[in-house]
Structure formats: structure tokens, C-alpha cells
Structure 1
């Protein structure tokens, strides 16, 4: 093939790719899915952090006082409760943000 034929074929291929990209609407949905995955991991991390901190405090107090693992159990439950409370606060924040975005979309459209 000659050089002009290559350019013509590349131009046709570019046009086909642009046409297919224009007909697909997967861009924003995939970004939204990625954002939801990030929010899910954030909430899991908050729960695990609460459990870990509660466990660490309980273990440290049991070691310090030489008690049976009552502090460990107590603070693990408190850490779990704190993690769940933080997760719920995050979920409320996400919901408020989504409602605000929907209201903005309704006002524009």
C-alpha cells in the first residue's frame, strides 16, 4: 500500500471509532459506578477502623490492668458501634448529596 492509502484507511477508522463512541452512553455510568465503589470501600474502611481501634484500646487496657479480656470485648463492641455510627453518617451524607444533585437536574431540565 502506498502512503496516501494508509492515511485514508486511518481516517476511515478514526471516523468509525468516533461514530461508535458517540452512540455509546457508557462513560458517565461507568464513572458513577466507580464513585459508588469508592463510597462503599470508604464505609467498609470506617467500620474496620472502628473495630480495630476498639480492639486496640481494649487489648491495651487489659494488658495494662492485667484483667481478663473484659476490656477487649467491651471496647471491641464500642468500636463496632462507633464504626456503624460513622458508616450511617457517611450514608446520610451520600444520600443528601444525591438528592441535591437530583434537585439541580430537575431545575435545569
Structure 2
């Protein structure tokens, strides 16, 4: 036959469950401004593609205006690519800085909570 459950262990388990239910759940997939990794990736792809499309459009318009079809198209397409990469790198830097700031904030909060417990 099974033995009777230990009342102290049950109380400790109930207390632990109550503590865990009270803590808010952290979303580990959140990156910056509430964006998930997929949303951030799409944002970066769109930034790069937009730079290329805008540069190509400007180059094509200038070529049509001056009657020199391939020259400005190629130049502004490459400039659009460079602009897109610069914007993409700026976004990556922004996200990285926000992650570091959040990690620092979490570490300080954990240390403060640890100091209060002593």
C-alpha cells in the first residue's frame, strides 16, 4: 500500500506553485519594440529591397531624361544597394543596443532583488 503524503512537502509544493503563477512570463522571442525574429528579418529584407528599387527607379528616370539608358541605371542601382545595406546595418545596431540595454536592466533588477533577499 502507498504511504500517506507528507503534509510539509505538499505545503512547500503549493507555495512554490503560487510563487510561479505570480511571475509574469517572459517572451524569449521578442527582439526589439516587441518585434519577433521573423518580423525583424522581414523588416531588414524590405529595407534592403527598398533601397535597391528606389535607386533603380531614380537611375532609370535620369537615363530616360538624358537619353543614356544603361549608365545611370547601373550607378543608382548600386547606390541604392549601398543605401539599403547602410539602413540594414543601422537597424541591426539599434536592435543590438536595445538587447544590451535590456540585459543590463535585467541584471540590475536581479542584483537588486538578490540584495533585498539578504
TM-score scaled by length of structure 2: 0.66
What displacement does 1:68 show? 3.2
Aligned runs of 1:33-48 on 2, under 5 Å?
35-48=36-49
Match of 1:18 in 2: none
Match of 2:75 in 1: 74
Match of 2:10 in 1: none
Match of 1:28 in 2: 27
Match of 2:8 in 1: none
What displacement does 1:36 show? 1.4
What displacement does 1:39 show? 1.1
What displacement does 1:67 show? 0.6
In structure 1, the gaps of 5 or more residues are 1-21
Q: Does 1:106 find its partner at 2:104? A: no
What displacement does 1:27 show? 7.0
Alpha-carbon separation, structure 1, partners of 2:107 and 2:26: 21
Q: Any runs of at least 4 consecutive aligned residues in structure 1 with deviations exceeding 6 A, and if so which?
A: none
What displacement does 1:56 show? 0.1
Cα RMSD of the aligned pairs, angstroms, is 1.8
Structure showing the higher helix proportion among its residues: 1
